[in-house]
Structure 1
Amino acid sequence: MGPPKKPSKMKKDLKKFQKVKKKKKNKNNSSNKSIPLDNKAIDCEWWDIFWNKNSPPPNPDSNSPLNEEEGFKHFFRVSNKTFEYICSLVREDLISRPPSGLINIEGRLLSVEKQVAIALRRLASGESQVSVGASFGVGQSTVSQVTWRFIEAMEERARHHLKWPDPTQTGRIKSGFESLTGLPNCCGAIDSTHIVMTLPAVQTSDDWCDQENNYSMFVQGVVDFEMRFLDIVTGWPGGMPVSRLLKCSGFYKLCETGGRLNGDAMMMSSPSSEGEEIREYIVGGASYPLLPWLITPFHERGDYEHFNPVLENARLAAVNAFSLLKGGWRILNKVMWRPDKRKLPSIILVCCLLHNIIIDCGESLCSDVALSAHHDYDYKGHICKQIDPSGISMRENLAKYLFRKNGDALCA
């Protein structure tokens, strides 16, 4: 056997190159480890950075926030405490399934707090993704990813903030409506609004074109006396009549089959009304049909002229709720540029959830953000002529009850 051969110069250079490459790889790994991957830590710095960058100059004559607490609610519609609660709802989802590439310009991963702030600002302001991104020092793509991931997480984790009330809660709602309006056994108020949008030519159709020649999507909501949403339906084209929208909803089917508004009826106490009763019901405007469980105004003048103002007072709960919803979450009030019609219902739902969370956390809805005009101020309501005979009897019973109650009050 001959002596071992010395390695050639080429082999020596190859080993040297591999050694250098290995060092570079280790160096890159160490630099990656410097990026914090543990997103469970609470980020307390993002607000200071945001406020210093975006706070308006002091001006007592304007509506600009005067301090940081007011400023926080101005930018995100919620208090710091409610913001922390929202973060707790979505934290695990945003940690376990974060959108890809969430590294800001400083080379650090975005915290859960900053992601939630970006999403809330986008929904609250309705500003472009570019504008929202600039205020946080991130790009348009990041705003898009963060907002959609937040919406997905909220849709899954915050559903319990929008549900039909149980019997105990329903009793409280009835008492609230009667205390505020005088209507007995009332379980809610219903209304609907349009979310206006532009559509590419290939997606346009008469179904989506409404009576004002806008492309829009309908939202229907039932609310309680505190303007909390109890039920919503959306995703339907804005070109359909309100009465058809109602009939397409799961809420209608449940009420028609006795699955909702099926609690105890109130018996009329007057001798002349013996055997007559007032069942559970909701109130709506003239665009809705008169049904045994959905009471609408009288169209003609007569003995019950006192009834319509009382009904309208109760119905305002729904009107004002939509005005606050679209005023608080301005993304719903701006003309949406070519939205994905499959995703838009999720955006609407999450805005309704956020609206309810504010109420459920004991905060008052910011009246200063409500729309100054009607939430559908360009739309003229149509009178629905559909009348159920049982609805006529129910409405007359209500009108009699109010007439006697008001008469007794006047006599006293």
Structure 2
Amino acid sequence: MPSKTPRAHLLHDLEDTALLLLPLLDDRTSRACLEDIIQAHHQISSNRYLDRFPDTLNNNPRPSFYHSDILLFAERGIRHKQAFRMSPSHLNDIVDFFKDDLVFFSRGNKPQAPPKYQIGLLVYRMAHGHDCRTLDREFGVSTGTVFKWCERSLIAILRKQSNFISWPSPTERLEIKARFLSEYSIPHCVGLIDGYHVNLTTAPARDDAGAYHSRKERYGFNVMAIVDHTKQFRYIHYGYPASSSDQRVQRAIEPLNTPSQYFSNQEYLLADSGFTASSLVVPMFKKSAGQAVLRGKTAYFNSRASVMRVGVEHSIGVLKARWTILRSMSMRLRTKKDEAMAHAIIVACTILHNILINTDEYYTEEFTGNLPIEPLRDEQPVEEEVAEDNFLGAGRLRPHMRRRHDLVEQMLALETEEIDIDNFILS
């Protein structure tokens, strides 16, 4: 004998309850209760499935999505921060930034869902790293609707990219240099450069999938970022697959290829030892083969620069702590459009990071320290540097190495206390 479905059981229970209330129609409370039961019975019986609902009037989101709205959008405190990685007021601010974009205005007779829900769904997706099918089940909207809402929201956010990710102006660079100099005694630096990996959960379904496979046995992208003293991202370069070396990505960065538009006299970016030295990029010193410790001026420079470089690692850590999708992106790359969507998500996460970094939403509940970062490191042979342990070979330095040598001399000249540089050791 076939068993009843939950829908049939619920309808039967409502009918039994209604029969019990019929003799009590003179009572106002009983009459109101009966009317509610009749309305619920009509709504359930007019749908084939218990957990599916038709669109409401005016084609607003489904009631199941409104239920999610009550649980998530209307939440306060920790639960809201766990869902969206920010407070309700800051989520409203973000919606206000982008809600007037033309992409949220319907071109036909059917009105769109409010921008709050569309942008909020994208924020939730980036915060948790879910794919469209998972959000389909959680929010009660179709997979196609999830994709459409995310796509619209990404378009609206990226159209204002220049408002939130921009290279510092000459006046701003003066402020950045002054802050780095006062806090770390390192002059002329206008930014910190580093790279990180954005991993994919599955291999791309493409002929060139091998290009996205990194030495860490993960598929993904290489992203290079430049940040300032406030941990704001001033420039990001994305699009290279994970197999690309850091030198290759570095050569493609626009500010380094057209320096006259981005740098003034003596300005440069501070980097770790995996980067190629130039007049615009000053990396930390590497240890020579078999060298246990750095000594002298090389040790002195690395000891100062390593403290300052924590800023870029911290910035990337906060970015990836808030937006889980950057740690593990749940999407399958099949077409160029899929790849463009992945790039757009990277940029959107960075834009929202810059909006929130100077608010009280600086940390999330998940973030209590520096996240492990996957920096870009080149495993290919790098041209051997002239030994600079004691700078006796300074006269033989190539021009791109001399910039770092001159910087160390400037730093020593700024020291207010005497340093025994000959006995300075860094392990």
Question: Normalised by the size of structure 2, how large is the TM-score?
Answer: 0.70
Letter in 1 for 2:362: L
Distance in 1, Cα, partners of 2:314 & 2:382: 22
2:196–2:223 Cα contact (<8 Å) kept: yes
Corresponding residue of 2:309: 315
Shift of 1:287: 1.4
Corresponding residue of 1:401: 410
Corresponding residue of 1:219: 223
In structure 2, stretches of 5+ residues that fail to align are 1-53, 288-293, 386-396, 421-427
Q: Of residues 92, 108, 111 in structure 1, which corresponds to 2:114?
A: 111
Corresponding residue of 1:351: 349
Shift of 1:162: 0.2
Letter in 2 for 1:293: L
Per-residue CA deviations over 1:246-282 (Å, capped at 9, x if unaligned) read 1122222122xx22222xx4xxxxxxxxxxxxx1111
Matched residue of 2:320: which SS?
helix
Distance in 1, Cα, partners of 2:208 & 2:354: 33
1:391 and 1:311, CA in 2 relative to 1: closer, same or farther beyond 3 A? farther
1:99–1:145 Cα contact (<8 Å) kept: no
Query: In the alignment, does 2:88 pair up with 1:76?
Result: no
Corresponding residue of 1:210: 214
Corresponding residue of 1:58: none
Shift of 1:205: 4.2
Shift of 1:137: 3.4
Shift of 1:74: 2.6
> Aligned residue pairs: how many?
337
Query: In the alignment, does 2:198 pair up with 1:195?
Result: yes
Please give the residue correspondences for 1:295-374 in structure 2 after superposition, counting only pairs within 5 Å. 295-300=282-287, 301-304=294-297, 305-339=299-333, 340-359=338-357, 362-366=359-363, 368-370=365-367, 373-374=371-372
Corresponding residue of 1:284: 271
Q: Of residues 239, 258, 261 in structure 2, which corresponds to 1:259?
A: 261
1:284–1:295 Cα contact (<8 Å) kept: yes
Distance in 1, Cα, partners of 2:223 & 2:217: 17
Shift of 1:232: 0.6
Corresponding residue of 1:19: none
1:140 and 1:180, CA in 2 relative to 1: closer, same or farther beyond 3 A? farther
Question: Normalised by the size of structure 1, how large is the TM-score?
Answer: 0.72
Letter in 1 for 2:406: N
Distance in 1, Cα, partners of 2:118 & 2:320: 22
Query: In the alignment, does 2:129 pair up with 1:126?
Result: yes
Please give the residue correspondences for 1:40-119 in structure 2 after superposition, counting only pairs within 5 Å. 49-51=70-72, 68-93=76-101, 94-97=103-106, 110-119=113-122
In structure 1, stretches of 5+ residues that fail to align are 1-30, 40-44, 56-67, 103-108, 266-278
Per-residue CA deviations over 1:321-366 (Å, capped at 9, x if unaligned) read 1111111111111143313123211111111101001135x34521
Shift of 1:214: 2.5
Distance in 1, Cα, partners of 2:154 & 2:129: 15
Per-residue CA deviations over 1:211-235 (Å, capped at 9, x if unaligned) read 2232221111000011100001101
Shift of 1:317: 1.5
Could you tell me the percent identity over the aligned residues? 20
Task: Indicate the RMSD between aligned Cα atoms, in angstroms.
Answer: 3.2
Shift of 1:180: 2.7
1:69 and 1:376, CA in 2 relative to 1: closer, same or farther beyond 3 A? same
